[in-house]
């Protein structure tokens, strides 16, 4: 006895359908749509603290958190040899954090400042090291730690050691040195380390590291 196929009837959205060998649809059901595209919500390119509030119809977010870069170390000071160059400050950590959200919830944030550059000393002395950059934090979501300051240049020999790159514990992606992931300002990426002081007599001072930044995407927006 031939099989009787009962045709599917009704209106279906985002449908799941079954088709037999003769090309006939014999079952259909409404499915569920995939997630919406991520769209920019918040971009913070200053050191001012603030608060991020999720859109009412958002349920997932993605935060790019950039920390401050370390300051460059000062150059060494020697009247005859000029000393060694100061170390470059380490780049601030950068982490990407994915997180579920409920519409309207808020999270405070702080943006880390860059570390100060090392100062020079008197004759025949080593240069001072640069200071570490500060961490950037999106509360209850994630933190990126600042880069270390560059070492001061020695009074003889050199150059000095560069500062260590910052970390972003728990991030889905963390790489402060990946150019494709950086945010640029005037050709210089946020969270960059300061340059080391030049090899001179007297030695040059190191420069300050650049401050961090924050960028947040949501899977929907208003």
**Section 146-163 average pLDDT:** 88
CA 89 – CA 128 distance, rounded (Å)? 12
With tokens 């950086």, the residue in question is 182
pLDDT confidence of 16, banded at 50, 70, 90? low
Residue 32 has pLDDT above 60, yes or no: no
Retrieve residue 63's tokens: 């935060």
Which are the contacts of 175, defined by CB distance < 8 A and separation ≥ 6? Answer: 94, 181
How close are the terminal C-alpha atoms of the chain, in Å?
Answer: 58
Q: What is the pLDDT of residue 117?
A: 95
**Section 179-188 average pLDDT:** 66
Q: What are phi and psi of 180, to 5 degrees?
A: -65, -15
Point out the least confidently predicted range of 1-5, 92-96, 142-146, 203-207: 1-5
Q: What is the pLDDT of residue 39?
A: 85
**Section 93-103 average pLDDT:** 90
**Section 119-131 average pLDDT:** 84
Q: What are phi and psi of 181, to 5 degrees?
A: -100, 0
pLDDT confidence of 34, banded at 50, 70, 90? very low
CA 82 – CA 76 distance, rounded (Å)? 7
Radius of gyration over every alpha carbon of the chain, rounded to an integer in angstroms: 27
CA 11 – CA 110 distance, rounded (Å)? 50
Retrieve residue 181's tokens: 């992931």
Degrees to nearest 5, angle at CA 193 with 95 and 195: 165
Q: Considering the chain, what is the average pLDDT of its residues?
A: 81
CA 94 – CA 71 distance, rounded (Å)? 17
Considering the chain, what percentage of its residues have pLDDT values greater than 70? 74
Residue 165 has pLDDT above 70, yes or no: yes
Residue 77 and residue 139 in contact, taking contact as beta carbons nearer than 8 Å: no
pLDDT confidence of 118, banded at 50, 70, 90? very high
Point out the least confidently predicted range of 18-32, 62-76, 143-157, 201-215: 18-32
Domain ranges of the chain: 1-34, 35-222
Q: What is the pLDDT of residue 132?
A: 97
Q: What is the pLDDT of residue 173?
A: 80
How much is the pTM?
0.77
């Amino acid at each position: 006895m031939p099989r009787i196929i009962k045709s599917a009837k009704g209106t279906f959205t985002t449908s799941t359908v079954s088709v037999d060998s003769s090309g006939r649809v014999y079952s259909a059901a409404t499915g569920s749509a995939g997630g919406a595209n991520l769209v920019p919500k918040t971009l913070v390119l200053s050191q001012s603290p603030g608060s991020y509030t999720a859109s009412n119809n958002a349920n997932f977010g993605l935060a790019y958190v950039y920390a401050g870069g370390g300051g460059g170390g000062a150059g060494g000071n020697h009247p005859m040899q000029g000393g060694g160059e100061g170390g470059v400050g380490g780049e601030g950590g950068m982490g990407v954090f994915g997180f579920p959200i409920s519409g309207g919830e808020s999270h405070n944030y702080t943006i880390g400042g860059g570390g100060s550059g090392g100062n020079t000393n008197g004759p025949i002395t080593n240069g001072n090291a640069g200071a570490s950059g500060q961490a950037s934090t999106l509360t209850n979501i994630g933190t990126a730690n600042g880069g270390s300051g560059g070492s001061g240049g020695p009074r003889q020999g050199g150059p000095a050691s560069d500062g260590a790159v910052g970390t972003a514990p728990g991030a889905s992606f963390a790489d402060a040195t990946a150019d494709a992931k950086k945010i640029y300002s005037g050709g210089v990426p946020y969270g960059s380390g300061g340059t080391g002081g030049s090899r001179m007599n007297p030695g040059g001072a190191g420069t300050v590291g650049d401050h961090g930044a924050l960028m947040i995407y949501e899977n929907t927006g208003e």
